[in-house]
Protein backbone atom coordinates (compact mmCIF):
# COMPACT_ATOMS: atom_id res chain seq x y z
CA UNK A 1 0.00 0.00 0.00
CA UNK A 2 2.85 2.38 0.75
CA UNK A 3 4.31 1.62 -2.67
CA UNK A 4 1.06 2.67 -4.35
CA UNK A 5 0.90 5.88 -2.32
CA UNK A 6 4.52 6.58 -3.15
CA UNK A 7 3.92 5.96 -6.85
CA UNK A 8 0.85 8.21 -6.88
CA UNK A 9 2.78 10.92 -5.06
CA UNK A 10 5.66 10.71 -7.55
CA UNK A 11 3.33 10.65 -10.57
CA UNK A 12 0.64 13.05 -9.38
CA UNK A 13 0.58 14.95 -12.69
CA UNK A 14 -0.12 11.74 -14.58
CA UNK A 15 -2.85 10.78 -12.10
CA UNK A 16 -4.52 14.20 -12.41
CA UNK A 17 -4.31 14.00 -16.21
CA UNK A 18 -5.91 10.55 -16.26
CA UNK A 19 -8.70 11.67 -13.92
CA UNK A 20 -9.36 14.77 -16.07
CA UNK A 21 -9.36 12.64 -19.20
CA UNK A 22 -11.86 10.21 -17.67
CA UNK A 23 -14.14 13.12 -16.72
CA UNK A 24 -13.85 14.53 -20.24
CA UNK A 25 -14.68 11.20 -21.90
CA UNK A 26 -17.63 10.78 -19.53
CA UNK A 27 -18.87 14.23 -20.48
CA UNK A 28 -18.59 13.41 -24.17
CA UNK A 29 -20.52 10.17 -23.66
CA UNK A 30 -23.22 12.00 -21.72
CA UNK A 31 -23.45 14.69 -24.40
CA UNK A 32 -23.74 12.10 -27.18
CA UNK A 33 -26.44 10.29 -25.24
CA UNK A 34 -28.38 13.54 -24.80
CA UNK A 35 -28.09 14.29 -28.51
CA UNK A 36 -29.39 10.84 -29.42
CA UNK A 37 -32.36 11.25 -27.07
CA UNK A 38 -33.25 14.62 -28.63
CA UNK A 39 -32.88 13.21 -32.13
CA UNK A 40 -35.11 10.26 -31.29
CA UNK A 41 -37.76 12.60 -29.87
CA UNK A 42 -37.67 14.67 -33.08
CA UNK A 43 -38.07 11.58 -35.22
CA UNK A 44 -40.93 10.39 -33.03
CA UNK A 45 -42.65 13.77 -33.27
CA UNK A 46 -42.24 13.76 -37.04
CA UNK A 47 -43.69 10.26 -37.26
CA UNK A 48 -46.69 11.29 -35.16
CA UNK A 49 -47.39 14.50 -37.06
CA UNK A 50 -46.84 12.88 -40.44
CA UNK A 51 -46.88 14.37 -43.94
CA UNK A 52 -49.25 17.32 -43.23
CA UNK A 53 -46.59 18.75 -40.95
CA UNK A 54 -44.01 18.33 -43.70
CA UNK A 55 -46.32 20.08 -46.18
CA UNK A 56 -46.57 23.06 -43.82
CA UNK A 57 -42.79 23.25 -43.54
CA UNK A 58 -42.46 22.97 -47.32
CA UNK A 59 -44.92 25.86 -47.75
CA UNK A 60 -42.90 28.01 -45.36
CA UNK A 61 -39.70 27.20 -47.22
CA UNK A 62 -41.31 28.12 -50.54
CA UNK A 63 -42.38 31.49 -49.16
CA UNK A 64 -38.88 32.14 -47.80
CA UNK A 65 -37.29 31.18 -51.12
CA UNK A 66 -39.57 33.65 -52.91
CA UNK A 67 -38.62 36.41 -50.48
CA UNK A 68 -34.95 35.59 -50.94
CA UNK A 69 -35.24 35.81 -54.74
CA UNK A 70 -37.04 39.14 -54.43
CA UNK A 71 -34.28 40.48 -52.17
CA UNK A 72 -31.57 39.22 -54.52
CA UNK A 73 -33.25 41.01 -57.44
CA UNK A 74 -33.49 44.22 -55.41
CA UNK A 75 -29.81 44.03 -54.48
CA UNK A 76 -28.86 43.43 -58.13
CA UNK A 77 -30.85 46.51 -59.21
CA UNK A 78 -29.20 48.63 -56.51
CA UNK A 79 -25.74 47.44 -57.54
CA UNK A 80 -26.52 48.16 -61.20
CA UNK A 81 -27.71 51.69 -60.42
CA UNK A 82 -24.75 52.43 -58.16
CA UNK A 83 -22.21 51.12 -60.66
CA UNK A 84 -23.78 53.19 -63.46
CA UNK A 85 -23.81 56.36 -61.37
CA UNK A 86 -20.25 55.86 -60.12
CA UNK A 87 -19.02 54.81 -63.59
CA UNK A 88 -17.57 51.58 -62.22
CA UNK A 89 -17.27 48.49 -64.34
CA UNK A 90 -17.59 45.57 -61.88
CA UNK A 91 -16.23 43.12 -64.45
CA UNK A 92 -12.79 44.75 -64.65
CA UNK A 93 -10.34 44.79 -61.79
CA UNK A 94 -8.81 48.11 -60.85
CA UNK A 95 -5.03 48.40 -60.86
- Domain limits, the chain: 1-49, 50-95
CA gap 87, 94 in Å, rounded: 13
Alpha helices (H) along the chain: 2-10, 12-49, 51-85
Say what the pTM is. Answer: 0.44
For residues 39 and 32, the answer to whether their CB atoms sit within 8 Å is: no
Q: What is the pLDDT of residues 8-20, one digit of tens each?
A: 899 999 999 999 9
CA trace torsion 46, 51, 53, 58 (10° rounding): 120
Residue 53 has pLDDT above 80, yes or no: no
For residues 73 and 79, the answer to whether their CB atoms sit within 8 Å is: no
Mention every residue, 6+ apart, whose C-beta is less than 8 A from residue 46: 53, 54
Q: What is the pLDDT of residues 71-91, one digit of tens each?
A: 999 999 998 888 887 776 666
For residues 79 and 90, the answer to whether their CB atoms sit within 8 Å is: yes
Amino acid sequence: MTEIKSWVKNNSTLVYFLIAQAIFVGGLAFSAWGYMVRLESRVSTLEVRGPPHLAEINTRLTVLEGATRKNENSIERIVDVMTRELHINPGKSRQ
